[in-house]
């Protein structure tokens, strides 16, 4: 089973860092170092703009496709 949906993320204008974190502890992280870090996603572009608390306005809202897959049982 696979679920795909359109979401919006915040990235630096050069698209080298992405807005990550949980529970209001958000920060920009290099996209090459994201690993298992939680990426903050938003349902709408407007929510993304309102949700980014970075004082540095060097960011943009980027539409993405979020994909969730159920993995085969690995027992």
Q: Per-residue pLDDT tens for 13-40?
A: 999 999 998 887 889 999 999 999 999 9
pLDDT of residue 1: 85
pLDDT attached to residue 75: 61
pLDDT above 80 (res 73): no
Q: What residues does 7 pair with on adjacent strands?
A: 64
Model confidence pTM above 0.75: yes
**Element at 75 (helix H, strand E):** none
- Inform me whether the pLDDT recorded for 55 exceeds 70: no
Q: Quick check: 74 pLDDT over 80?
A: no
CB 8, CB 48: distance < 8 Å: yes
């Amino acid at each position: 089973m696979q679920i795909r949906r359109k979401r919006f993320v915040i990235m630096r204008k050069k698209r080298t860092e992405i807005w990550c974190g949980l529970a209001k502890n958000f920060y920009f992280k290099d996209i090459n170092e994201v690993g298992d870090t939680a990426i903050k996603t938003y349902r709408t572009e407007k929510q993304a703009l309102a949700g980014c608390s970075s004082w540095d306005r060097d960011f943009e809202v980027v539409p993405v496709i979020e994909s969730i897959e159920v993995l085969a049982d690995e027992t």
